[in-house]
Amino acid sequence: MFLGQSIDEIPARYCLVDADKLLTSHNPLTGFGPRLGYPPGAQERDYQLQSERGKVQAIADKLRPALIFNTAPGALDGTPVVTENKVVLGGNGRTMALQLVYAGEGKTPPKAPKQFLLKHAKQFGFTQADIEKFARPVVVRTIRTGGDARNLAEWSRRLNSSLSQGLDSVQLAVSRARFLPPGVLDDLGQLGEEETLPQFLTSPRSLPLVRQLLQAGVIESRQAPQFINANTGLLNADGKSLLSDLLVAKMVPDAPTIKALGPGVVETIARAAPYLVATEAQGSFNLVPSLQDALTDRLQMRAQGFDSVAALERQGGLFGSSLRSQSPLTKRLLEILVELDGSPQKFAKLSKTYLGYARTGGSGQGGLFALDTLTPLDALNRSYQTATKRISYSLL
């Protein structure tokens, strides 16, 4: 079997499996909810999206068994590719379509896949008697992989590499964010306080970052012309947008949310991403969960026409509502996000300062301000004061 359009060749063997035993990323028979037991992040496509569900249903409605049950050597078509534990890595959508057909949930006759396999069993080294043993037979190619989730995610990406071109840029960013090299965040953490992310990406100083994205497969070689300027080697406009989405997706892995936030908020969060991601290792000072809730509430505020948290509270819409910003830390972060939506440098400075407090367990960073231990909320407020130059010089 060949991987995608590359020259890599890996051993695989044909196996017969009942369709119900194959572990797809989502269960098409229960509204495409995530499949319990499927390794998180091992598929790039989000089948919670109506567009992706529609593609699977379309296959089920007009299933052509010969397009699935054939001996094509590539991984992008033909029989599904699965692990020895029956986790589907290649042909995830095709497999879900077969599950729909066998369950009578498509316009294709439920018996069509099995009838085809009975006629073509010898093609895969089976007999008709072998096929008859299964109520819902599926021929798969079984491969050996490492067992950890990241390894499976890398296999899935390779097996479906050309299919990723069908994802829009934000969906692609969400699917690839988990492969973002740590060195990229380190590089971005060195930006000057007054430097914007677009300014840095226009500079030759960002060339090492681009190389990291290529080496890690975040941008595949076949996609390079789409995101990289061939003359300069720098990210083009689409590449810059992709990187911003990648940085946000590192913390908010949800394409509809990122799209709804809009470029202004995305740039603000992306500029601060190196510091925000770093807080995840700082225990109670981890700001990412509060950020996720605050961004969700920011969208609700916008949808309801409120331009400030105070205005929302006056309408009785914050506490006792479906909004998530009910903790003091998250509520304060929401207020700051509203104020600094269009100030990426200030929000980055705030996040960098907050990270400094977090790394010292809430103690000051020296001088007159190292006189007490701060809570995460205190640290956020002081970081805000620093970022907006509203500093109190009174002894604390």
| pLDDT tens track for 15-42 | 999 999 999 999 999 999 999 888 877 7
Burial class of residue 110, CB neighbours in 10 A (0-12, 13-18, 19+): middle
pLDDT > 90: percent of the chain: 50
Same domain, yes or no, for 273 and 194? no
pLDDT for 274-314, tens place per residue? Answer: 999 999 999 999 999 999 999 998 998 888 888 888 877 77
Q: What is the pLDDT of residue 45?
A: 76
Question: What number is the average pLDDT over the span 217-240?
Answer: 88
334 belongs to a structural domain: yes
> Sorting pLDDT into bands at 50, 70 and 90, what band is 393?
very low
State mean pLDDT over 264-273. Answer: 94
Q: Which pLDDT value is given to residue 162?
A: 47
**Domain range spanning residue 147?**
13-162
- Residue 353 has a pLDDT of 95
Among 189, 217, 250, residue at a domain's last position = 250
Question: Do 220 and 122 fall within a single domain?
Answer: no
Domain termination site, one of 140, 162, 184: 162
Tell me, yes or no, whether 4 lies in a domain.
no
Residue 383 maps to a domain:
yes
Domain count, the chain: 3
Q: Is 221 exposed, middle or buried (0-12, 13-18, 19+ CB in 10 A)?
A: exposed
Q: Are residues 277 and 382 in the same domain?
A: yes
Q: Are the beta carbons of 179 and 44 closer than 8 angstroms? A: no
**What does the chain come to in residues?**
396
In a domain, 208, yes or no: yes
Q: Which residue shows structure tokens 């990426």? A: 344
Report how far residue 217's alpha carbon sits from residue 367's, in angstroms, rounded to the nearest whole number: 45
| 6 inside domain | no
Q: Does the structure show a pLDDT above 80 at 131?
A: yes
In a domain, 218, yes or no: yes
> What is the β-pairing status of strands 88-90 and 81-83?
antiparallel
Q: By the 8 A CB rule, do 89 and 159 touch?
A: yes
Which of 170-174, 212-216, 348-352, 387-391 is least confident?
Answer: 387-391
User: Are residues 268 and 383 part of one domain?
Assistant: yes
Chain segment 242-267, per-residue pLDDT in tens: 999 999 999 998 888 999 999 889 99
Q: Which of 170, 292, 193 is nearest to 243 (CA)?
A: 170
**Spatial distance between the Cα atoms of 390 and 374, rounded to a whole number of angstroms:** 18
266 by Cβ neighbours in 10 Å (0-12 / 13-18 / 19+) ranks as buried
Looking at the structure, do residues 127 and 200 belong to the same domain, yes or no? no
Q: Is residue 205 domain-shared with residue 341, that is, in the same domain?
A: no
Residue with tokens 């990323």: 25
Please give the average per-residue pLDDT across 110-130, as a whole number: 93
Distance CA 76, CA 81 (A): 9
Residue 4 β-bridge partners: none
Q: Do 380 and 336 belong together in one domain?
A: yes
Phi and psi, residue 223, nearest 5°: -95, -5
Has residue 85 been placed in a domain?
yes
Which residue type, as a one-letter code, is found at position 181?
P
Position 7 in a domain: no
Phi, psi for residue 368 in degrees, rounded to 5: -70, -20
Q: Decide if 55 contacts 93 (C-beta within 8 A).
A: yes
For residue 142, which of 85, 67, 76, 73 has the smallest C-alpha distance? 85
Q: Residue 318's pLDDT band (boundaries 50, 70, 90)?
A: low
Instruction: Give the whole-angstrom CA distance, residue 103 versus residue 97.
Output: 10
Residues 201 and 265 in one domain: no
Cα–Cα dist 156/177, whole Å = 14
Q: Are residues 19 and 98 in the same domain?
A: yes
Please give the pLDDT value at position 316.
61
Question: Are residues 26 and 145 both part of a single domain?
Answer: yes
Question: What pLDDT sits at residue 37?
Answer: 87
* Rg from Cα positions in the chain: 25
Final residue before a domain boundary, out of 162, 192, 210: 162
Tokens of 149: 């989730």
Residue 216 is predicted with a pLDDT of 82
DSSP 91: S
Cα distance between residue 301 and residue 338, in whole Å: 10
Q: Quote the mean pLDDT of the chain.
A: 84
Burial of 256 (C-beta count, 10 Å sphere; 0-12/13-18/19+): middle
Q: Answer yes or no: do 177 and 69 share one domain.
A: no
For tokens 């590719």, name the residue.
81
Q: Are residues 153 and 225 in the same domain?
A: no
3-state secondary structure 177-205: HHHCCHHHHHHHCCCCCCCCHHHHHHCHH
C-beta of residue 123 within 8 angstroms of C-beta of residue 111? no
